[in-house]
Structure formats: C-alpha cells, structure tokens
Chain A
C-alpha cells in the first residue's frame, strides 16, 4: 500500500503544477459525460415522439413539431458531448506529454548529479530501462488511464443517476449482473498477472538460451553441435509456448467476456423492459422509448467496467514505474562545499595521505596509502590486478571519497575544492575510451566546446590522429557513435587523448589500455602519451614497460598497500616485488 501512496505522491509532485489544466479537464469531462448520458434520453423521447407522430398519422394528424424538437435536442446534446470530450482529451494530451517530458528531463538531470558509486554498482541496462519501459508505462497510464478513469467514473455515476431517475425497476435490472461481471474481471486480472509472470520467466530463459547459443555459434559450428543446440532449444520453446498460451488465454479473455456479459445484460434489459412495457400499463410509445433508452444505458454502463479492467494492469505498471523512478531520485548526489576553494593556475603537486578506502563497508581496498607527486613529475603505478591502482585514480578527482586520510592538490584537500574547479584541473584518459554520438569534432572539443577549429586540429595532431581523420570523407564532421566501427580501440584512445590535450589540465591521470592494439597504433599511442604528459603532473597506471621506464617515480601497489616506491634502478636494486614482476612479466626469451 505504501508503494501506491508513494507513487501517488510522485505523480502529485509532477502534476500539481497543472491545477488549472485539471480544472479544465474535469469540467470537460463533466460536460462531456453530462451530455453523453442525457443524449439517450432525448433519443428515447425522439423515438417516443416518432411513434406518437406515426400513430397520429394513422389518425390523420401530421404534427412533426414535437418530434423535430427532440431531434434537435438530441443533435445538440451529441455535439456538446463531443466538444466536452474533445476539450478534456486535448488538455490531457498536453498535461501528460509535458509531465512525462519533465520526468524524463528530471531523470537525466538527476543522473548527471549522482555519484560514480551508483553507476559502478548498478547495471546500465537496469538504469536504461527506467528511461524506456518505466517512463513509457507511466506515460501510457497517464495518457489513457488518467482521463479514462475520470471519464468512466463520471460516466458510471451519471448513468446510475439517470437510470434511477428514468425508471427504478429497469435501473435495478440493468445493474443486477454487474457484481458478477466485476468478480469475473477481478478473477481474470489475477490469473493474467500470475501467468504473465510465468510467461515472462519462460520468455526470459528462452531469450537467454538463444542469446548464448547464437553468440557462441562459432563454437557450435566448429564442434558440430548444431543438433545438440536444437535439442536444448526445444524444451525452452515448448515452455514458452505453454506459458504464453495460458497467459494469453486469460488476458485475451477479459475483453470478449465483458463484451459477452454486456450482450447478455442487454438481452435481459430488453426482455424485462418489454415485459414491463406490457404489464405496467404505460403507453406503448413511452414503453418503446424506455426500452431503446435502457438498451443504450446497458451498453454504456458496461463500458466503464470493461475499460477499467483493461486499464488496471496499465495502472499497476505505472505504479511500479513510479516506484522505480523514485528509487533513482532518492539516490545520493555528489557533494561539494558551498564556497569551494580554487586552485591557482600553475603546475600543481598532488598527494595521497594515509588513505583508507573501501567500496563496500567492511571490505577495505586501500589500507593507508601515501603517495606524493611533485609538480611536473610523472608517477607510474604498477601492480597486479586488484592491487588498488584504479581505486587511486578514482580518488584523485573525487569519483569516490576516502574513508580516512586525505587526497590533496597543492596541500588542499580535494573535498574543500569546488567540483568544477577540481575537475577542470584534473584530466583523465581512461583505459576504455568512450565516444559520444555526434561528429568527431564534437568529441574532440568535448571538454571545451568553445575551442576553435585550429585548436582542435592542433590537439588532434599532437595526439597523432589528425592524419587518420583527414582520410575520412567528412573529416572532422564525420558522425560517430560509441558503437559504430569507424575507429579501432586504439584510435578511440587517441581521440580521447586529443580531447584531454585540448582542455589542458595541469594534473593528468592516464590509464593505459591493455587491449591488443596493432603495432602502428601502439607506437602512435605511445608518442601521444609522451606528448600529453609533458609539462604536467601525472599519474599513470602503467602497463607498458616504456612508460614505466620514463616515470620519475614508480609506485608498486599490492593488495592495497604501497610496498615499494622509487626509480626503476632503485627498485631493481632492491630485488623486491618489482624486480620479480619485471623479470617475469616482461621477459620473453
């Protein structure tokens, strides 16, 4: 229940600014419903008048006046009903469109403020689905359910009132079967939910199987396992077939069943109405009108029941969607001091001072690490996987904060600096380079969109990628995305180096790529790296021997401790872990 209340609060938050719109919607719905409910009365009266007119004709009286009067009223009420519906639906369209848009924008903005910790601990797919399916579900529900539920509720109330005004006995007969219909609908909704869950599980495991098999098709072909793959597929496929058949039977049943109930109810109404007409001593013309009117009401009365039951699942999805969006909005954001200190525009030194850090409480990754870099120097971090190299990088520009100790730039704790200040000064080149959808130029100018084309080209030249870009038909205007294959992994890294060169940071963090790059690109990256570290203070997670040899200081990390530091010669002479690492890893003859 708290789920629903929380969701309601979420919707209230986004919808409260549309109070006037809601007023208009409500008025539109009331007008629309009023006239739609009243129209059948005039239809009945028109038909009664028609019958009277025809009876009159038989007796030689040709008086159309009364009859035409009701037709005019009928037409006017129909038109006003349509106008009311039009007003309310068009306002609903604007309200839900804009509200959903604000949710989408808000969600993205929230994403930009959240901590790296969140992104590291959540799967991208899960976050993405909030942009797609959850927002979609909310938008659908708002768009359809909101107006429909209001309309249907109004309709239900209106019809009940009018029916009882018209004829109490007929009204009771018309609503008599409703409880049965509602119970049936509730049963079907429950079954549908149950079997849809089973269906989703079955479909999920089939998709998993198919995905795994076809992604591994090379193995299947080279081992001649095609028949085995089919044998494994068949039970999954059967399971999906059975599950979808059951689920679709229940969910598909709702509509025809409600329609059938409506048909049966109409039959009962006609049956009883005619009996009443003949046995209650009312005029035939009046009885005729009554039957026709209640046939209309019987159909109109069943419509909300059918609609609301189909909308119910939509509504449920929206509540889930709201809950999942709420989860995001509750996530902590990056913090910074209100009056952040600034860093002077000069070469800066940096230091880690007795830093302890853990990603998850109780599992400390760095156990009191101290590293000191002098302005303009380059430190190479080496050590086996899991030793904490990447973690050190994460702390320098406050992707994460230390548990104890401090990270300082020119003796100022990074937590006292403005975030923008800090990150303007600290540049990073990551192991996995990322390209954003847009042109190559956009990607190079990414950190400084205001940079001139000349500056961009200069940066690309320094990064050794200019020549390659010029071989492309559209040069710097070539469109790229992270996934399309214009660039190899190595070339992507060159682009990201150019990107960093252009922002001219004073402190640089470099994570060398370990992936296989061909020799030519490899040497280009090497040269670009050499260029970029010049005149800057830098931390490099080193994988290449050349880089390590170029460093002013080598820091060896193991299991979250600095176990050795010094120059290459010093460390070799110490015959410690580094020297062992050096001999094992880099020797190949």
Chain B
C-alpha cells in the first residue's frame, strides 16, 4: 500500500469520479428490482398511470446506470494507468539513485522485471479495484438490506445462502490458489526444459538423446496436465454449485412466500425483487472472492516494488562536498573489501600509491580481485575498511561531479546503447563535438571503421549493438572513455576482443595523446601490460607484487607462473 499512497493525491479527482460512478452503477442495479416490485404492485392494483410513470423511471435509471458504467471505465482507466505510470517513474528514479552494489544485489534483469511485469500486475489490480472491487461491498450490503427490507420474514434464506456461498468460495478458491502456485512451477519447468533443449540442441542430437529428452519433458507435461485438469474439475464443480444454491434459494423463497402471503399479501409483488436481490448477494460474494484470489499476485508485485522504494542507496555523496579539479593520483590505504553475502574478502589490506600520468598494469588469476580493485576507484563500491583517495581526496568526501569528470572507466564487456555513435560518445563528454570525437576515435583506433560508415558519427547503433563486431564495440567503448580527457582512465580488460596489432596501436596512442592521464590496464594477457610503468600482481585478494615486467619476471613467483602458461612460443 505504501507504494500506491504517495500517488493517490494526484488522482484524487479521477478516483472520486470513478468511485462515484461505481456507486451510481451499484445504486442503479439495486434500485431496479425495487422498481420492478412497484410495477408489479401497480399491475396487481390495475393502476395504469402508475405503471407508465414507473416504467419511464425504470428506463431512465437503467440509462443512468449505463452512462455511469461508461464514465467509470474512462476514469478507472485514467486513474489506474496514470498511477501505474507514476509508480514506474518513481521506481525508475529511485533505481537511478542506486549504487552499483544495489543494482547487482537485485540483478539488472530482476529490476527490469519489476519495472515491467510487476507494474503490469499492479495496473490490472488498480483497474479491477476501480471497476469491480469497490462495487462489491456496496452491492453486498445494499442487496442484503434491500432483501431484508423486501420480505423480512425470509431472512433465514438469505443467511443460509450467504453461508453456503461463502463456504464454497473459501473452500475452492483457496485450493485453487495453491494449485495455481504448483501450476506456475510446472510451467516454469516446461519452459526450462524447452529452453535448455534449444540451447543444447547440438548436444542432444550428437548424444542421440532425443527420446530420453522427450520422456523427461512428457513427464513434466503430464504433471502440468494433471494440475490443469484438477483446477478444471474445481471449476466444473463450483459453477453448477452456485447455480444450485441460487436456484434452491429462489424455490424456497417462492414456496415460503405462500405462507407469508396469508398475513402479508404484498409479499407476492415483492417476490420477484426479492429473488433479484438474492442473486445480487450471491454474485457480490463470488466476485469478491474472485477478485481477492486474483489480486494475490498483484500483492506480491506491490511488495516487490516496495522493496525497491525502501532500498537505501549504499553509496551516497555528500551534498556539500565542494567541486574541485581532481588530479590523477590514486591512493589505496589498507583497503579491504568483501562483497555482501561472501564470507571471504575479495580484497585484503591492499595499499599502493599511483602518481599522475603513470601507467599501471594489474594482473592476476580470475577471481584474484583485479576488477574489484578497479571498481573502487570510480567508487562503484565503498571498501569496508581502509581508504581510497583520488587526487588526495578520500572518496567518501568527494564531490560526485568532480569524480565523474576525473575518472573514466571502460568495461570488459563493451556496453553501447541503441541510438547513434555520437549519442554514445557524448555520454563520456556531453559537449563533445566532431573534433573531440575525431580525436578520441583516433586514439581508440575506431576512426578506421567509423570513417567507412557513410553517416560516420550519426550511424545508428542497433539494440544489443548487433550491427557492430566485438572488437568494434570495444573500440567505441574506449573512445567514449577517452573523449572527456579524464585524469584517470581505467581499462578493465577492455582490449580483449582486439587483435594484438590494434591493441598495440591503442596503447601507443594512449601514451602519446594522454600523457598526463593516469592509466590502469587490467588484463588477462601479460602482453597487454608489459609496457606499463608498474605492474600490480594480485593473488587471492592480496597485493603480492609490484614492479616492472622485467623485475617481476625475475622475482615474483605468481607473476612467473602466469607468464609461463601464456608463453607457448618458447616451447615450440
């Protein structure tokens, strides 16, 4: 509920009209049997004029009900869709305040699902609430009062009917809810099996496992079918059950009216409207039960959005931190870092100093903490202990804008956004013009293929950047990194898709054009860092070596091991 509350105000009027029209619809539905009763009375009394005027009333009320129905839909749609969009916007804005750690904890895919599927669920719920749910209590209470008022002596029929209907609803809908859970699980299994058979189709075929896969699938499919049929059976029972309950109530109402008529002859005229109210009571309960069952899913979705809204960003910047031009020095002072949920620290007591303009290589086995170390520099995470400083400022006290301007981070997996090349490059420097782009793309060796595109920087990047090769994407990603002439440039294994020749050219260009820039190169291949001023060697989160390639190759055991496994040539 706390997700919806803040947005209610804006739609106060819309909600008011939606609710009012729903009340009018309920009123019209409730009033019609009453008028029917009066008409019958008038027929029995042979009062022609009365019949005519009541008939006109009946038509007018029905038309009002119809108009209210139309208005209700219009306002319900306006309010529900508007509120859903506002909730989505609020959640999106909230996510944009998240630190990278926050995003990773949810996982990007999960956040997307929450912003899309979960919002759709909420949207449907809201629509149902405004169109149906608010009518349920009005109809129930109204029909109940009117039924009692019409033939008070038959109160016990009403009570028995309510007890029976509520009994059927609670007995079956709850059971169905459970079945739906099981069904969803089996549907997921069907999907999983189909998906892995698509992904592994070559394996299935080459191991001749087609028949076994079919057996595996058929078992799940049959289980799913059993659940489907079980739910179907419940449905097959409840519909006739409601029909029966309603019919028996009607029959007994007519029967007992006979007795009542002995003392109250007016009951004969009332019987038709009494029957109508009985039906309205029954449908109100059924509708209510159905709405509650189906809104269970939306409640889960609300909870999931609430989680987003309640999350506190774990990296926040001091609003009063003064903007300043940071220099390219980087300082790690006894830095330890553990990912949430891990028992082992990923970085253990790492300390080093880097002067502006240095080129630093970082090597180590997978899982040694290279990328984690790099991610601390642009403050994607805060270390649990120790300090990371850039330009002499502790990152916890830094101005966000100044830090972003100073540090550029090029990821291992080049991520480009759909749009034009220029739009992607401008993410690194908003004011970038063609000259800036030319300069940066020359450094990243991207100009070579950009120049061949007829639209050059206006060339479109498709979704998932599928129209560019891995190497081209990496070069564009590096271009974006260098375009803002950062004080510090971090290349996180970001030349892995380039051939040896292009990689060398990129490094040379960086050396020439970005002399004053501190560069961190994280690499799997030692060949990428041999020319670095200094190389940091990481092993299981610890800094185990520091020096030039020549020094390390002589003295550092970890470095030697990596070096030897990669140097196949000597063994030829």
Q: Kindly state whether residue B505 has any CB partner on chain A within 8 Å.
A: no
| 16 contacts across the A-B interface (CB closer than 8 A) | A54-B258, A68-B255, A71-B255, A81-B243, A81-B247, A214-B103, A214-B108, A215-B108, A244-B85, A266-B62, A267-B62, A275-B55, A284-B44, A447-B207, A449-B212, A516-B496
In the complex, A446 Cα to B209 Cα: how many Å? Answer: 8
Within 8 A of B (CB), among A59-117: 64, 67-68, 71, 74-75, 78-79, 81-83, 85-86, 89-90, 92-94, 96-98, 100-101, 104-105, 108-109, 111-113, 116
Please give, as numbers and ranges, the residues of chain A lying within 8 Å of B72 by CB-CB distance: 256
- How far apart sit A494 and B229, CA to CA, in the bound complex (Å)? 43
Whether the pair A481, B74 counts as a contact (CB closer than 8 A) is: no
Chain B residues in 8 Å Cβ range of A46 = 254
Given known contacts A47-B272, A139-B228, is B222 in contact with A101 (CB within 8 Å)? yes
Return the CB mask of A524-547 against B: 1 if under 8 Å, else 0.
000000000000000000001110
Which residues of B (76-111) have their CB < 8 Å from a CB of A? 76-78, 80-82, 84-85, 88-89, 92-93, 95-100, 103, 108-109, 111
CA distance A584 to B247 in the complex (A): 88
Residues of chain A within 8 A (CB-CB) of B61 are 267
Tell me whether A79 and B239 are in contact (CB under 8 A). no
| A573 sits at the interface (CB 8 A) | no
Interface residue? B310 (CB, 8 A): no
Cα A288 to Cα B271 in complex, Å, equals 11
- Taking a contact as CB atoms under 8 Å apart, the answer to whether B70 and A260 are in contact is yes
User: Which residue on chain B has the smallest CB distance to residue A130?
Assistant: B194
Tally of chain A residues near chain B (CB < 8 A): 152
- A119 and B100 in contact, given A132-B191, A588-B567 (Cβ under 8 angstroms): no
Closest partner residue, chain B, to A75 (CB atom): B251
A82 and B411 form a contact (CB under 8 A) = no
Bound Cα distance from A37 to B524, whole angstroms: 79
Interface positions of B from 183 to 214, Cβ below 8 Å from A: 187, 190-214
Given contacts A39-B247, A128-B198, A586-B568, 18 further A-B contacts (CB under 8 A): A50-B257, A54-B258, A78-B247, A82-B247, A131-B190, A131-B194, A206-B116, A211-B112, A212-B417, A215-B415, A217-B108, A221-B100, A253-B74, A257-B70, A419-B208, A423-B207, A446-B209, A482-B196
User: Which residue of B42, B48, B568 is within 8 Å of A544 (Cβ)?
Assistant: B568
Which listed residue (B58, B77, B81, B212) contacts A271, Cβ 8 A? B58
Q: Does residue A420 face the partner (Cβ distance < 8 Å to B)? A: yes
Look across to chain A and name the residue whose beta carbon is closest to the beta carbon of B203.
Answer: A434
A266 to B51, CA, bound (A): 15
Q: Are A253 and B73 in contact (CB under 8 A)?
A: yes
A34-53 residues with Cβ-Cβ distance < 8 A to B are 39, 43, 46-47, 50-51, 53
Contacting pair A516 B524 (CB below 8 A)? yes
Q: Which of B28, B380, B568 contacts A546 (CB 8 A)?
A: B568
Known: A295-B36, A436-B196, A481-B192. A260 touches B108 (CB 8 A): no
Size range of the interface on B? 35 or more
Interface string of B418-462 (1 = CB under 8 A from A): 100000000110000000000000000000000000000000000
Are A241 and B81 in contact, CB atoms less than 8 angstroms apart? Answer: yes
Kindly provide the distance from the CB of B283 to the nearest chain A CB, expressed in whole angstroms: 11
With A74-B251, A81-B243, A128-B198 already in contact, the answer to whether A210 and B115 are too (CB < 8 A) is yes
Is B224 located at the chain interface by the 8 A CB criterion?
Answer: yes
CB-defined interface of A119-133 with B at 8 Å, one 1/0 digit per residue?
A: 100001001100110
Query: Counting CB contacts under 8 A, is B20 at the interface?
Result: no
Cross-chain contact A252 with B77 (CB below 8 angstroms): yes
| Chain A positions within 8 Å of B500 at CB level | 584-585, 587-588
Judge if A245 is at the interface, Cβ distance under 8 Å.
Answer: yes
Residues of B close to A228: CB separation below 8 A:
427
Q: A78 to B251, Cβ gap below 8 A?
A: yes
A270 with B73: in contact, given A90-B233, A93-B229 (CB under 8 Å)? no
Query: What's the minimum C-beta distance from A322 to chain B, rounded to whole angstroms?
Result: 18
Q: How far is the CA of A281 from the CA of B15 in the complex (A)?
A: 51
Closest residue of A by beta carbon distance from B255: A71
Tell me the chain A residues, 259-303 only, with Cβ under 8 Å from chain B.
259-261, 263-264, 266-268, 270-272, 274-275, 277-278, 284, 287-288, 291-292, 295
Chain B residues with CB under 8 Å of A434's CB are 196, 199-200, 203
Q: With a CB–CB cut-off of 8 A, which chain A residues contact B207? A: 423, 446-447, 499, 503
Nearest B residue to A244 by beta-carbon distance?
A: B81
CB contact list, B206-264 vs A, under 8 A: 206-214, 217-218, 221-222, 224-225, 228-229, 232-233, 235-237, 239-241, 243-244, 247-248, 250-251, 254-255, 257-258, 261-262
- Which of B149-157, B332-340, B350-358, B525-533 is the contact stretch? B525-533
- Stretch with Cβ within 8 A of A (4 or more), from B170-178, B298-306, B402-410: B402-410
Question: What separation, in Å, do the CA atoms of A198 and B400 have in the docked complex?
Answer: 40
Q: How far is the CB of B319 from chain A (nearest CB, A)?
A: 15
Q: Are B569 and A267 in contact (CB under 8 A)?
A: no
A256 touches B25 (CB 8 A): yes
Query: What sequence of 0s and 1s flags, for each residue 428-439 of chain A, a beta carbon within 8 Å of any chain B beta carbon?
Result: 101000111100
When A260-B62, A275-B52 are in contact, do A291 and B43 touch as well, CB less than 8 Å?
yes
Closest-CB distance, B369 to chain A (whole angstroms): 12
A224 contact from B66, B109, B401, Cβ within 8 A: B401
B82 touches A245 (CB 8 A): yes
B393 at the interface (CB under 8 A from A): no
Tell me which residues across on chain A come within 8 A of B268, comparing CB atoms.
47, 50-51, 54, 288
B562 at interface, CB cutoff 8 A: yes
Asked if A589 contacts B96 (CB within 8 A), the reply is no
Q: Is the CB of B415 within 8 A of A216?
A: yes
Q: Is the CB of A268 within 8 A of B25?
A: no
* Interface flag for B467 (CB, 8 Å): no
Whether A391 sits at the interface, judged by CB under 8 Å, is no
Does B63 sit within 8 A of A, measured CB to CB? Answer: yes
Q: How far is the CA of A179 from the CA of B286 in the complex (A)?
A: 30
B28, B109, B232, most chain A CB atoms within 10 A = B232
Tell whether, in the assembled complex, residue A517 and residue B366 are in contact, meaning their CB atoms are under 8 Å apart.
yes
**Contact between A233 and B92 (Cβ–Cβ < 8 Å)?**
yes
Chain A residue nearest to B413 in the complex (CB): A218
Q: How far is the CA of A524 from the CA of B376 in the complex (A)?
A: 32
Minimal beta-carbon separation of B228 from chain A (angstroms): 5
Per the bound structure, the CA–CA distance linking A109 and B215 in Å amounts to: 10
Chain A CB within 10 A, most for which of B211, B244, B428, B480: B244
Q: Which partner residue on chain A sits nearest B368 by CB separation?
A: A518
Given contacts A93-B229, A131-B194, A434-B203, contact A278 B43 (CB under 8 A): yes
Residues of A within 8 Å of B567, CB to CB, are 588
Known pairs A39-B247, A222-B380, A270-B58; A86 contacts B25 (CB<8 A): no
Known contacts A256-B25, A263-B65, A274-B43; is-contact A111 B262 (Cβ 8 Å) = no
Q: Find chain A residues with CB under 8 A from B193 CB.
A: 108, 437
Chain B residue numbers with a CB within 8 Å of A246 are: 77
B482 is an interface residue with CB less than 8 A from chain A: no
Q: Is B29 an interface residue (CB 8 A)?
A: yes
Which listed residue, B42, B191, B203, B208, touches A420 by the CB 8 Å rule? B208
**When chains A and B are docked, how far (Å) is the Cα of A223 from the Cα of B366?**
26
**In the complex, which of the residues A215, A226, A237 contacts B88, with contact meaning CB atoms closer than 8 Å?**
A237
Closest Cβ–Cβ distance, residue B479 to chain A (whole Å): 13
A218 adjacent to B411 (CB under 8 Å): yes
Residues of chain A lying within 8 A (CB to CB) of residue B67: 260
Whether A85 touches B239, Cβ cut-off 8 Å, given contacts A131-B191, A588-B566, is yes
Select which of B52, B80, B365 is within 8 A of A520 by beta carbon. Answer: B365
Q: Is A388 an interface residue (CB 8 A)?
A: no
Task: Name the distance in Å between B361's Cβ and chain A's nearest Cβ.
Answer: 13
- How many Å lie between the Cα of A78 and that of B261 in the bound state? 24
Q: Are A75 and B247 in contact (CB under 8 A)?
A: yes
Question: Any chain B CB within 8 A of the CB of A399?
Answer: yes
> Is residue B56 within 8 Å, beta carbon to beta carbon, of the partner chain?
yes
Q: Closest approach, in angstroms, between the C-beta of A529 and any C-beta of chain B?
A: 14
- Closest residue of A by beta carbon distance from B212: A449
Tell me if A474 counts as interface (CB < 8 A to partner B): no
